[in-house]
């Protein structure tokens, strides 16, 4: 899954942008990005910066890539490298197969430590990966997410029916709360003659009814 973002004005589609100043507090530890997918992701998005450590950063910054004296010192790129280093420091280890996505407004909302309501617990503790997609749609409602069929990922699959049902219960909880976040939004891209709000409502209804059918 990737987000379609236009190149910066005057960039010619190949301008290297700096990454953003924080790291989401939640990280999927059981899903990894392959180097093959990372390279394709890098090539398909002109605004994606792939560092030597397989760190992908998407951003909306437009600051100059040069410092006050025309060099790297004090430049946005130097700041990006420092932020990336801080990101790996916070992760506690450096991995060639993990990706970190930086988006200014997304990171500010996603890195919140205010988890004091049941709604926020369902968003950040049970469905942190789904919530990231929700934030992408909330803050960039004129764009859409896209499925990349060439993507390859490995994850830990349930090995018993009990574990599978437990996983589904967690996913249903997080899905309901994520859809509640999207329902008030009227500007999401629709499909054919249906508004996205209608599609989200149908998805919410089917998610609520799903446990009855299992």
> CA 115 to CA 32: how far, in whole Å?
26
**Percent of the chain topping pLDDT 90:** 0
Q: Which residue has the higher pLDDT, 133 or 31?
A: 133
pLDDT value at 170 more than 60: yes
What DSSP assignment string belongs to 141-164?
TTS-EE--TT--EE-----SHHHH
Q: Domain limits of the chain?
A: 2-213
pLDDT of residue 44: 37
pTM: predicted TM-score of the whole model, two decimal places: 0.48
Residue that is written with structure tokens 């970190």 in the block: 100
> CA 129 to CA 36: how far, in whole Å?
21
> CA 8 to CA 23: how far, in whole Å?
23
> CA 89 to CA 83: how far, in whole Å?
10
At 15, is the pLDDT very low, low, confident or very high (cuts 50, 70, 90)?
very low
Mean pLDDT of 168-192: 76
pLDDT of residue 89: 58
């Amino acid at each position: 899954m990737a987000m379609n973002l236009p190149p910066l004005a005057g960039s010619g589609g190949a301008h290297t942008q700096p990454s953003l100043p924080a790291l989401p507090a939640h990280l999927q530890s059981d899903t990894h990005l392959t180097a093959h997918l990372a390279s394709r992701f890098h090539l398909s998005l002109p605004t994606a910066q792939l560092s030597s450590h397989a760190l992908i950063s998407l951003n909306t910054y437009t600051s100059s890539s040069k410092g006050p004296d025309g060099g790297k010192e004090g430049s946005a790129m130097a700041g990006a490298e420092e932020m990336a280093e801080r990101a790996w420091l916070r992760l506690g280890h450096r991995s060639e197969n993990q990706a970190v996505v930086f988006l200014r407004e997304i990171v500010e909302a996603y890195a919140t430590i205010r988890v004091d309501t049941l709604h926020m617990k369902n968003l950040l503790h049970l469905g942190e990966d789904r919530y990231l997609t929700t934030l992408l749609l909330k803050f960039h409602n004129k764009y859409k997410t896209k499925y990349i069929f060439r993507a390859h990922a490995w994850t830990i699959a349930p090995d018993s029916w009990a574990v599978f049902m437990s996983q589904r219960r967690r996913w249903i909880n997080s899905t309901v709360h994520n859809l509640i976040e999207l329902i008030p939004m009227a500007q999401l891209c629709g499909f054919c003659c249906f508004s996205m709000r209608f599609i989200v409502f149908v998805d919410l209804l089917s998610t609520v009814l799903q446990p009855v059918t299992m």
